Amino acid sequence: MRMLARSGWSLAATFAVTACTSDGTTSPGTLPGTQTITVDASQPFAYVAFGDPATVVNVTDASASTAWDVRLYATAVTLNGGAAGPGDVSGYCLCQNSGATAAELRAMTPASQLAAFEAVTASQVPASGQFMADLLSPVIAGWYTGTAPAVTAAPSISWILRRGTTATTLGKFRVTTIENATTAAAGSVTFEYALQGAPGGEFGPVTTRTVSVGAGVTYFDLTAGTVSSATAWDLAFTGYTIRTNGGVSGAGGVMAVPDNATPFAAIDAAYAATAPSQAYRADEFGGVFTTNRWYRYNLTGTDNQIWPTYDVYLLRKGSAVYKVQLTGYYGSNGAGRQVTLRYRRLK
Protein backbone atom coordinates (compact mmCIF):
# COMPACT_ATOMS: atom_id res chain seq x y z
CA MET A 1 0.00 0.00 0.00
CA ARG A 2 1.28 3.45 -0.86
CA MET A 3 2.41 5.43 2.16
CA LEU A 4 0.59 8.74 1.94
CA ALA A 5 2.45 10.17 4.90
CA ARG A 6 5.55 10.33 2.73
CA SER A 7 4.12 13.07 0.55
CA GLY A 8 4.55 15.88 3.00
CA TRP A 9 1.17 17.38 2.08
CA SER A 10 0.15 17.70 5.72
CA LEU A 11 3.28 19.50 6.87
CA ALA A 12 2.41 23.02 7.97
CA ALA A 13 4.49 25.80 6.47
CA THR A 14 6.13 28.37 8.73
CA PHE A 15 6.19 32.00 7.65
CA ALA A 16 8.22 34.96 8.86
CA VAL A 17 7.65 38.69 8.36
CA THR A 18 9.59 39.84 5.32
CA ALA A 19 10.49 42.96 3.45
CA CYS A 20 10.93 43.24 -0.30
CA THR A 21 13.20 45.30 -2.45
CA SER A 22 12.06 47.20 -5.53
CA ASP A 23 12.80 44.20 -7.75
CA GLY A 24 10.58 41.91 -5.68
CA THR A 25 13.37 39.97 -3.95
CA THR A 26 13.57 39.59 -0.20
CA SER A 27 15.92 41.89 1.67
CA PRO A 28 18.83 40.26 3.53
CA GLY A 29 18.17 40.08 7.24
CA THR A 30 14.43 39.62 6.78
CA LEU A 31 14.46 36.22 5.11
CA PRO A 32 11.28 34.11 5.35
CA GLY A 33 11.12 30.89 7.30
CA THR A 34 10.74 27.39 5.96
CA GLN A 35 7.82 26.96 3.59
CA THR A 36 6.41 24.22 1.36
CA ILE A 37 4.67 24.08 -1.98
CA THR A 38 2.98 21.10 -3.63
CA VAL A 39 3.00 21.14 -7.43
CA ASP A 40 0.84 19.14 -9.83
CA ALA A 41 3.56 17.69 -12.05
CA SER A 42 1.27 15.29 -13.88
CA GLN A 43 1.43 17.22 -17.16
CA PRO A 44 4.44 18.73 -18.91
CA PHE A 45 5.38 21.14 -17.55
CA ALA A 46 4.78 22.80 -14.17
CA TYR A 47 6.87 25.92 -13.52
CA VAL A 48 7.77 27.32 -10.09
CA ALA A 49 9.21 30.73 -9.27
CA PHE A 50 10.84 31.08 -5.87
CA GLY A 51 9.87 34.02 -3.71
CA ASP A 52 7.87 34.70 -0.58
CA PRO A 53 6.11 32.44 -1.12
CA ALA A 54 7.07 30.31 -4.14
CA THR A 55 4.36 30.20 -6.79
CA VAL A 56 3.38 28.16 -9.82
CA VAL A 57 3.65 30.35 -12.92
CA ASN A 58 2.50 30.04 -16.52
CA VAL A 59 5.26 29.97 -19.11
CA THR A 60 4.79 29.96 -22.87
CA ASP A 61 8.41 29.62 -24.02
CA ALA A 62 10.64 28.23 -21.29
CA SER A 63 13.77 28.61 -23.38
CA ALA A 64 13.30 32.41 -23.49
CA SER A 65 11.65 33.11 -20.13
CA THR A 66 13.21 34.20 -16.84
CA ALA A 67 9.85 34.02 -15.05
CA TRP A 68 10.50 30.49 -13.76
CA ASP A 69 13.24 28.95 -11.63
CA VAL A 70 12.32 25.25 -11.45
CA ARG A 71 10.39 23.11 -13.92
CA LEU A 72 8.75 19.83 -12.87
CA TYR A 73 7.30 16.90 -14.74
CA ALA A 74 6.79 13.57 -12.97
CA THR A 75 10.17 12.93 -11.30
CA ALA A 76 12.16 15.25 -13.59
CA VAL A 77 13.46 18.53 -12.17
CA THR A 78 14.91 21.21 -14.45
CA LEU A 79 16.62 24.44 -13.43
CA ASN A 80 16.29 27.60 -15.51
CA GLY A 81 19.90 27.95 -16.55
CA GLY A 82 22.55 26.51 -18.83
CA ALA A 83 21.00 24.71 -21.80
CA ALA A 84 17.53 24.77 -20.24
CA GLY A 85 16.87 28.51 -20.11
CA PRO A 86 18.17 32.04 -19.58
CA GLY A 87 17.41 32.30 -15.85
CA ASP A 88 20.96 31.75 -14.55
CA VAL A 89 19.74 29.19 -11.98
CA SER A 90 22.24 26.51 -10.95
CA GLY A 91 22.31 23.81 -8.29
CA TYR A 92 24.49 22.04 -5.76
CA CYS A 93 23.64 18.91 -3.75
CA LEU A 94 24.68 18.54 -0.13
CA CYS A 95 23.56 14.90 -0.51
CA GLN A 96 23.61 14.11 3.18
CA ASN A 97 21.62 10.91 2.59
CA SER A 98 23.60 9.60 -0.38
CA GLY A 99 24.82 6.62 1.65
CA ALA A 100 21.45 5.74 3.16
CA THR A 101 20.29 2.14 2.83
CA ALA A 102 16.93 1.17 1.39
CA ALA A 103 15.64 0.42 4.88
CA GLU A 104 16.80 3.79 6.17
CA LEU A 105 15.13 5.64 3.30
CA ARG A 106 11.88 3.77 3.81
CA ALA A 107 11.84 4.92 7.42
CA MET A 108 12.32 8.59 6.54
CA THR A 109 9.39 11.01 6.60
CA PRO A 110 9.03 14.74 5.96
CA ALA A 111 8.81 15.31 9.72
CA SER A 112 11.88 13.22 10.56
CA GLN A 113 13.99 15.01 7.94
CA LEU A 114 12.95 18.54 8.88
CA ALA A 115 15.77 18.92 11.42
CA ALA A 116 18.41 18.08 8.81
CA PHE A 117 16.91 20.67 6.50
CA GLU A 118 16.78 23.37 9.16
CA ALA A 119 20.40 22.65 10.14
CA VAL A 120 21.69 23.81 6.74
CA THR A 121 22.96 27.40 7.00
CA ALA A 122 24.48 29.99 4.68
CA SER A 123 27.93 28.95 5.87
CA GLN A 124 27.53 25.72 3.87
CA VAL A 125 26.99 27.49 0.55
CA PRO A 126 29.99 26.64 -1.68
CA ALA A 127 31.73 28.90 -4.16
CA SER A 128 29.65 29.73 -7.22
CA GLY A 129 31.96 27.65 -9.41
CA GLN A 130 30.81 24.49 -7.66
CA PHE A 131 27.18 25.00 -8.70
CA MET A 132 25.99 23.06 -11.76
CA ALA A 133 23.90 24.41 -14.63
CA ASP A 134 21.57 22.12 -16.58
CA LEU A 135 22.53 20.33 -19.76
CA LEU A 136 20.50 18.09 -22.05
CA SER A 137 19.95 14.68 -20.46
CA PRO A 138 18.66 12.33 -23.18
CA VAL A 139 16.98 9.12 -22.08
CA ILE A 140 19.00 7.19 -24.69
CA ALA A 141 22.42 7.55 -23.08
CA GLY A 142 25.30 5.12 -22.73
CA TRP A 143 24.89 3.78 -26.27
CA TYR A 144 28.64 4.03 -26.88
CA THR A 145 31.83 3.68 -24.88
CA GLY A 146 35.16 5.43 -25.21
CA THR A 147 36.16 8.98 -26.05
CA ALA A 148 35.63 10.53 -29.47
CA PRO A 149 36.74 9.63 -32.03
CA ALA A 150 37.77 6.25 -30.55
CA VAL A 151 34.26 5.12 -29.67
CA THR A 152 32.60 1.71 -29.73
CA ALA A 153 28.91 0.85 -29.72
CA ALA A 154 27.45 -0.63 -26.53
CA PRO A 155 24.95 -3.21 -27.86
CA SER A 156 24.46 -4.78 -24.43
CA ILE A 157 22.12 -1.94 -23.45
CA SER A 158 18.67 -1.74 -25.01
CA TRP A 159 15.78 0.67 -24.66
CA ILE A 160 12.09 -0.19 -24.47
CA LEU A 161 10.21 2.61 -26.20
CA ARG A 162 6.68 3.81 -25.74
CA ARG A 163 4.62 6.70 -27.06
CA GLY A 164 2.40 8.69 -24.71
CA THR A 165 1.32 7.77 -21.20
CA THR A 166 -0.75 4.71 -22.11
CA ALA A 167 0.43 1.13 -21.85
CA THR A 168 1.12 1.02 -25.59
CA THR A 169 4.67 -0.09 -26.25
CA LEU A 170 6.33 1.35 -29.31
CA GLY A 171 9.14 -1.19 -29.45
CA LYS A 172 12.75 -1.90 -28.56
CA PHE A 173 15.98 -0.30 -29.78
CA ARG A 174 19.76 -0.64 -29.54
CA VAL A 175 22.88 0.61 -31.32
CA THR A 176 25.05 -2.19 -32.69
CA THR A 177 28.01 -0.59 -34.50
CA ILE A 178 29.71 2.78 -34.99
CA GLU A 179 32.08 3.45 -37.89
CA ASN A 180 33.98 6.47 -39.25
CA ALA A 181 33.51 8.49 -36.08
CA THR A 182 35.14 11.89 -35.79
CA THR A 183 35.81 14.14 -32.85
CA ALA A 184 32.57 16.01 -33.55
CA ALA A 185 30.16 13.25 -34.58
CA ALA A 186 29.55 9.50 -34.44
CA GLY A 187 29.70 9.02 -38.21
CA SER A 188 27.99 5.87 -39.44
CA VAL A 189 25.65 4.50 -36.76
CA THR A 190 23.92 1.13 -37.19
CA PHE A 191 21.01 0.21 -34.95
CA GLU A 192 18.35 -2.45 -34.57
CA TYR A 193 14.74 -2.11 -33.53
CA ALA A 194 11.44 -3.95 -33.50
CA LEU A 195 7.99 -2.41 -33.22
CA GLN A 196 4.69 -3.52 -31.75
CA GLY A 197 2.13 -3.74 -34.53
CA ALA A 198 -0.83 -2.96 -32.29
CA PRO A 199 -1.42 -2.30 -28.60
CA GLY A 200 -0.85 -5.54 -26.72
CA GLY A 201 0.44 -7.28 -29.84
CA GLU A 202 3.72 -9.03 -30.46
CA PHE A 203 6.82 -7.27 -31.68
CA GLY A 204 7.42 -7.46 -35.38
CA PRO A 205 10.67 -8.56 -37.01
CA VAL A 206 13.92 -6.86 -36.10
CA THR A 207 14.85 -4.08 -38.52
CA THR A 208 18.45 -2.94 -39.05
CA ARG A 209 19.22 0.55 -40.32
CA THR A 210 22.32 2.72 -40.69
CA VAL A 211 22.30 6.50 -40.58
CA SER A 212 25.01 9.05 -41.22
CA VAL A 213 25.45 11.27 -38.19
CA GLY A 214 27.23 14.60 -38.51
CA ALA A 215 27.02 18.05 -36.98
CA GLY A 216 23.47 18.56 -38.26
CA VAL A 217 20.35 16.65 -37.18
CA THR A 218 19.38 13.34 -38.79
CA TYR A 219 15.74 12.50 -38.05
CA PHE A 220 14.46 8.92 -38.23
CA ASP A 221 10.89 7.61 -38.39
CA LEU A 222 10.79 4.11 -36.89
CA THR A 223 7.41 3.19 -38.39
CA ALA A 224 8.41 4.24 -41.89
CA GLY A 225 11.90 2.83 -41.39
CA THR A 226 13.50 5.80 -43.10
CA VAL A 227 15.36 9.03 -42.49
CA SER A 228 12.66 11.68 -42.14
CA SER A 229 12.23 15.32 -41.20
CA ALA A 230 11.51 17.48 -38.17
CA THR A 231 7.77 17.10 -38.80
CA ALA A 232 7.61 13.29 -38.44
CA TRP A 233 10.25 11.52 -36.38
CA ASP A 234 10.88 9.25 -33.41
CA LEU A 235 14.68 9.50 -33.04
CA ALA A 236 17.05 12.34 -33.88
CA PHE A 237 20.80 11.85 -34.23
CA THR A 238 23.33 14.68 -33.95
CA GLY A 239 26.96 14.63 -32.91
CA TYR A 240 27.06 12.04 -30.13
CA THR A 241 23.48 12.53 -29.01
CA ILE A 242 20.32 10.52 -29.74
CA ARG A 243 17.13 12.39 -28.87
CA THR A 244 13.66 10.89 -28.58
CA ASN A 245 10.63 12.83 -29.78
CA GLY A 246 9.31 13.62 -26.33
CA GLY A 247 9.94 15.69 -23.23
CA VAL A 248 12.17 18.67 -23.92
CA SER A 249 13.13 17.31 -27.34
CA GLY A 250 9.74 17.16 -29.04
CA ALA A 251 5.98 16.88 -28.80
CA GLY A 252 5.74 13.26 -29.97
CA GLY A 253 5.37 11.76 -26.50
CA VAL A 254 8.14 9.19 -26.99
CA MET A 255 9.59 7.83 -23.74
CA ALA A 256 12.03 5.03 -22.95
CA VAL A 257 13.41 2.85 -20.21
CA PRO A 258 16.93 1.36 -20.48
CA ASP A 259 17.63 -2.34 -19.94
CA ASN A 260 21.20 -3.58 -19.67
CA ALA A 261 20.36 -6.87 -17.97
CA THR A 262 18.21 -8.59 -20.62
CA PRO A 263 19.55 -9.65 -24.05
CA PHE A 264 17.99 -7.71 -26.91
CA ALA A 265 16.59 -10.90 -28.46
CA ALA A 266 14.85 -11.79 -25.19
CA ILE A 267 12.94 -8.50 -25.00
CA ASP A 268 9.51 -9.28 -26.40
CA ALA A 269 6.14 -7.59 -25.97
CA ALA A 270 5.27 -9.61 -22.87
CA TYR A 271 8.53 -8.69 -21.18
CA ALA A 272 8.24 -5.03 -22.22
CA ALA A 273 4.77 -4.88 -20.70
CA THR A 274 6.24 -5.60 -17.27
CA ALA A 275 8.12 -2.28 -17.23
CA PRO A 276 6.06 0.01 -14.94
CA SER A 277 5.03 3.39 -16.25
CA GLN A 278 7.06 5.10 -13.51
CA ALA A 279 10.27 3.70 -15.00
CA TYR A 280 9.83 5.47 -18.34
CA ARG A 281 11.16 8.95 -18.87
CA ALA A 282 11.51 11.39 -21.73
CA ASP A 283 14.43 13.57 -22.70
CA GLU A 284 14.99 16.24 -20.10
CA PHE A 285 17.42 18.92 -19.13
CA GLY A 286 19.40 17.77 -16.15
CA GLY A 287 22.15 18.99 -13.90
CA VAL A 288 22.37 18.46 -10.18
CA PHE A 289 18.99 16.68 -10.11
CA THR A 290 20.20 14.22 -12.73
CA THR A 291 23.60 13.44 -11.26
CA ASN A 292 22.07 13.30 -7.77
CA ARG A 293 18.46 12.19 -8.16
CA TRP A 294 16.08 13.24 -5.41
CA TYR A 295 14.39 9.85 -5.19
CA ARG A 296 14.92 6.13 -5.40
CA TYR A 297 12.52 3.75 -7.03
CA ASN A 298 11.00 0.44 -5.94
CA LEU A 299 12.97 0.07 -2.71
CA THR A 300 11.19 -3.11 -1.64
CA GLY A 301 11.43 -4.69 -5.07
CA THR A 302 7.67 -4.93 -5.42
CA ASP A 303 6.22 -1.54 -4.43
CA ASN A 304 6.83 0.32 -7.72
CA GLN A 305 6.94 3.49 -5.65
CA ILE A 306 8.91 6.73 -5.64
CA TRP A 307 10.82 7.22 -2.38
CA PRO A 308 12.37 10.64 -1.68
CA THR A 309 15.96 10.69 -0.46
CA TYR A 310 15.36 13.95 1.43
CA ASP A 311 18.73 15.26 0.29
CA VAL A 312 19.12 19.02 0.59
CA TYR A 313 19.89 20.97 -2.59
CA LEU A 314 21.16 24.52 -2.86
CA LEU A 315 19.81 26.59 -5.76
CA ARG A 316 21.58 29.79 -6.77
CA LYS A 317 20.03 32.59 -8.80
CA GLY A 318 22.21 35.66 -8.97
CA SER A 319 23.17 36.50 -5.39
CA ALA A 320 20.19 34.64 -3.90
CA VAL A 321 20.57 31.07 -2.63
CA TYR A 322 17.72 28.78 -1.58
CA LYS A 323 17.91 25.43 0.16
CA VAL A 324 15.39 22.94 -1.21
CA GLN A 325 14.30 19.47 -0.10
CA LEU A 326 11.84 17.39 -2.13
CA THR A 327 9.69 15.59 0.39
CA GLY A 328 6.97 13.82 -1.56
CA TYR A 329 5.64 12.50 -4.86
CA TYR A 330 2.11 11.50 -3.86
CA GLY A 331 -0.85 13.70 -3.00
CA SER A 332 -3.29 13.29 -0.13
CA ASN A 333 -5.48 11.02 -2.28
CA GLY A 334 -2.55 8.83 -3.31
CA ALA A 335 -2.22 10.29 -6.81
CA GLY A 336 1.32 10.41 -8.12
CA ARG A 337 3.21 13.31 -9.64
CA GLN A 338 2.13 15.67 -6.85
CA VAL A 339 5.59 16.87 -5.92
CA THR A 340 6.15 18.67 -2.62
CA LEU A 341 9.13 20.98 -2.16
CA ARG A 342 10.34 22.34 1.17
CA TYR A 343 12.38 25.51 0.73
CA ARG A 344 13.96 28.44 2.50
CA ARG A 345 16.12 31.31 1.31
CA LEU A 346 19.59 31.33 2.86
CA LYS A 347 21.02 34.53 1.38
Residue spans of the domains in the chain: they are 4-136+284-345, 139-279
Rounded Cα gap, residues 191 and 98, in angstroms: 36
182, 147 contact by CB (below 8 A)? no
Rounded Cα gap, residues 147 and 212, in angstroms: 19
pLDDT tens for the chain, 347 residues long, are 333 333 332 333 333 333 333 333 444 456 789 999 999 999 889 999 999 899 999 999 999 999 999 999 899 899 999 999 999 999 999 999 999 999 999 999 999 999 999 999 999 999 999 999 999 989 999 999 999 999 999 999 999 999 876 556 789 999 999 999 999 999 999 999 999 988 778 999 999 999 999 989 999 999 999 999 999 999 999 999 999 999 889 989 999 999 999 999 999 999 998 888 878 889 989 899 999 999 999 999 999 899 999 999 999 999 999 999 999 999 999 999 999 999 999 99
Rounded Cα gap, residues 110 and 283, in angstroms: 29
Cα distance between the two ends of the chain: 40
